[in-house]
Structure 1
Amino acid sequence: MVKAEKPLSAAINGAVNGQEAAFDPSAPPPFKIAEIRAAIPSHCWIKNPWRSLSYVLRDAMAATALLAAAIHFDSWFFWPFYWAFQGTIFWAIFVLGHDCGHGSFSNNSKLNSLVGHILHSLILVPYNGWRISHRTHHQNHGHVENDESWVPLTEKIYKSLDPVTRTFRFTVPFPIFAFPFYLWSRSPGKQGSHFNPYSKLFSPNERIDVLISTLCWVTMFTLLLYLSFVIGTIPMLKFYGVPYMIFIVWLDVVTYLHHHGYKQKLPWYRGKEWNYLRGGLTTVDRDYGWINNIHHDIGTHVIHHLFPQIPHYHLVEATKAAKAVLGKYYREPEKSLPIPFHLIKYLVNSVRQDHFVNDYNDIVFYQTDPNLYFLRPKFK
């Protein structure tokens, strides 16, 4: 086993003046995942398809009402309001499709697939392609090489990036528009596309599913092009294009902050140090104020990562029940004002500081390239 990298917390801990050493988030937890599961009330595991469909209806009605209002008012006073709220509803729609992909929407796989394809295709996400790669993310969360979502760059891969790519990747706001590029070509160091049935992301028996989702995506994209010719490019940008970009921002910011930007550096694992529980405990819950309800409590993320089968409408209760077991391994989210502006500082600071991890140790923490934003080479 490769020796673990010394965690950042060790630099500020120590039994100073007889005080207890600081908590080490990379230490193996003193509990098992079965203990967490047992603490969660049994009804939290029950999936109610009618309740899930009611959220679909709620989001569909909100999106339709916003579109009707935009058509009615059609003024530059109203457009910013429409873009912000419609983009947020697009994000909420994505979360419901995400639940379909996990099977937490209902116990009916055909219903999950039908609803998931409709919801994700409407916002230009290839349902099965993304569903499968997201499953890989959950199965390997916190693993340096095998994770799939916002996986850290190793030092070797980081050094291989050209200066322009490196700077753009670690300069806000560019990373918060990354999702469409990720769908097409994944992250640096990984090959494949969410649209290609023969991508390394997928097994041979998944190719038909991926092809179906890609065809749904192409159908939606073709429809958008047709509407652009019918009503004009500028109206389509106002009605759909800008909300779509707001949705992308939501997706990238939320998913990034689920795994980065905590006030204490959190570990990533490889080799024998990784297991499902330790990887899941590196995730972070976030509070989004009144938006929590709109985007279906997706910020309640630790329990979701450990038990993705739990419906979103039970996550808050399940988390409260699990806290007694998790102890210090659960990091209470900072309470948000009505609009979660407090998260901007965590996003910006993390992007500026969390650049790469070393190539060898089994427990690693993000390191910073101090010369990244200067016009001189980092490595000799």
Structure 2
Amino acid sequence: MQAAQCALRAPLGLSARAALRRPAAAAAVPRRAVLAGAAAPAVGMPACPPKVGQLSDEERKELAEQFGFRSIGKELPDNVTLQDIIKSMPPEVFELNPWKAWGAVAIAVSSFAFSLWLISVCPAPLLPFAWAFSGTAMTGWFVVGHDCGHRAFSKNKLVEDIVGTLMFMPLIYPFEPWRIKHNQHHAHTNKLVEDTAWHPVQKEVMDKWSPAERFLYKTFLGSPLKLWASIGHWWIWHFDLNKYTEAQKPRVLVSLAAVGLFMAVGWPLIVYYTGWWGLVKYWLMPWLGYHFWMSTFTVVHHTAPHIPFKPSEEWNAAKAQLSGTVHCDYPRWVEFLCFDINVHVPHHVMSKIPWYNLRAATDSLRKNWGEYMTECTFNWRMLKYIFTHCHVYDEEQNYVPFDFKKEEPFFAVQRKVLPENM
């Protein structure tokens, strides 16, 4: 998820905010972009300079500020391997702690139970706040199952399969199909076609869209609705048996049966005791909150104007996992309820690091490889680029927006009205 026409709308002396407010017709291609070899785009903001990782520290610092990041890393040398990075981390970050693992289960269950009580006593005007808390608590269930899927919960795989399946049931997320496809995402992070979590739209694919497809993709991938796009991903990737081998299908069917059981028993019980509004109030709205975080974490982890997706023949595992994954800080209560899933770079360097060791692993990576990492704090400026520009794959610029040929009102309005403060 990275940007297409990436942002440097004014000469170097102007602030990012003033630059973004200048009319497109009056915008000058910045000296920095010219030095980097970037061409002026057809619409929107000037293009992201190519080979950002090779710019000077000062240039990357200014780009980071304009894009909404704390830092943009240098390009990792070609001779560094993923194993080199893994071996640099202390061995204790790979160790499993059953007390912390099961403690997460207890926190996830109790925080979600508390959120349901909160929903039950909240006056109607305050329900959105209770739903936000509940959706965040529900995301903790996913993170526990996420560690199970990566074999980072227990030394017993059967225990991991059972816990993962149970934690995913209320989410209507089939554990085994998710595990298979998510591991493919880790094996092919930021690879142009093979990455199953996200990759930019290719121009030749976009040219084949019907009017209805064009409307749906532009609406849901080119606006703040992108922060719920995981619902489409959930449906497309995890319920189609044709996406799995014959050897995989028996375990896939068990996971599908588990979520089917929750739908067949859990939903009717909720309706019986609380009515149809209760199903919306106690399950659907928290579930939508959970998908907000699922989408947001995924988008922010893997979308930045300067981070390229690469075709398989050009892909480099070390660069994709260390430099192609974004560390983002969120409000501390979110990080607590979601078990530090936002501390994501070490998870991509080695997916078997349990959630409770991610911060120590990040400290190690910063010490040894920090100059190659991208970091940010969750902010609107970064999201604005993602919504309005990070859409279509471009070999030179990483991204161009859906309306790269001629600016369209749908995107022009967003570029004007979406907030751009950090």
Above 0.5 in TM-score?
A: yes
- Find the counterpart in structure 1 of residue 291 from structure 2: 248
Residue 128 of structure 2 aligns to a residue in which SS?
A: helix
Task: State whether structure 2 residue 224 is matched by structure 1 residue 195.
Answer: no
Task: State whether structure 2 residue 116 is matched by structure 1 residue 67.
Answer: yes
Task: State whether structure 2 residue 314 is matched by structure 1 residue 273.
Answer: yes
1:24 deviation in Å?
8.0
After superposition, the C-alpha distances for 1:66-90 in whole angstroms (9 at most, x for unaligned) are 223433x253154233211111001
Task: State whether structure 2 residue 104 is matched by structure 1 residue 55.
Answer: yes
Question: Greater shift after overlay, 49-58 or 19-28?
Answer: 19-28
1:91 deviation in Å?
0.9
CA gap 1:86/1:356 in 2 versus in 1, 3 angstroms: same
Give matches, 1:1-380, under 5 Å.
8-10=48-50, 28-71=77-120, 73-161=121-209, 162=211, 163-185=214-236, 193-197=237-241, 199-200=242-243, 202-230=244-272, 231-260=274-303, 262=304, 264-280=305-321, 281-290=323-332, 291-334=334-377, 342-358=378-394, 365-368=398-401, 369-370=403-404, 371=406, 373-374=408-409
Question: Greater shift after overlay, 60-69 or 95-104?
Answer: 60-69
Residue 357 of structure 1 aligns to a residue in which SS?
A: strand
**TM-score when normalising by structure 2:** 0.75
CA gap 1:107/1:36 in 2 versus in 1, 3 angstroms: same
1:138 deviation in Å?
0.3
CA gap 1:372/1:108 in 2 versus in 1, 3 angstroms: farther
1:146 deviation in Å?
0.7
1:36 deviation in Å?
1.7
Residue 248 of structure 2 aligns to a residue in which SS?
A: helix
Query: Could you tell me how far apart the structure 1 residues matched to 2:315 and 2:354 are?
Result: 27
Question: Greater shift after overlay, 366-375 or 99-108?
Answer: 366-375
Amino acid at match of 2:408: Y
After superposition, the C-alpha distances for 1:53-75 in whole angstroms (9 at most, x for unaligned) are 1110111111112223433x253
Query: Could you tell me how far apart the structure 1 residues matched to 2:53 and 2:381 are?
Result: 25
After superposition, the C-alpha distances for 1:291-341 in whole angstroms (9 at most, x for unaligned) are 22221111111110110000111111111112233242112333xxxxxxx
Amino acid at match of 2:215: V
**TM-score when normalising by structure 1:** 0.83
Residue 329 of structure 2 aligns to a residue in which SS?
A: coil
Q: Which has the higher contact order (CA 8 A, sep 6+)?
A: 2
Question: Greater shift after overlay, 322-331 or 120-129?
Answer: 322-331
Amino acid at match of 1:253: T
Aligned residues: percent identity? Answer: 24
Amino acid at match of 2:84: E
1:248 deviation in Å?
0.8
After superposition, the C-alpha distances for 1:241-281 in whole angstroms (9 at most, x for unaligned) are 11111111111011110011x3x521111132213212212
CA gap 1:211/1:13 in 2 versus in 1, 3 angstroms: closer
Query: Could you tell me how far apart the structure 2 residues matched to 1:225 and 1:265 are?
Result: 44
1:284 deviation in Å?
0.3
- Find the counterpart in structure 2 of residue 190 from structure 1: none
Taking only aligned residues, the RMSD between alpha carbons, in angstroms, comes to 2.8
Amino acid at match of 1:225: W
1:27 deviation in Å?
5.9
Q: How many residues align?
A: 348
Amino acid at match of 1:367: V
Where structure 1 has 5 or more consecutive residues not aligned to the other structure, the ranges are: 186-192, 335-341
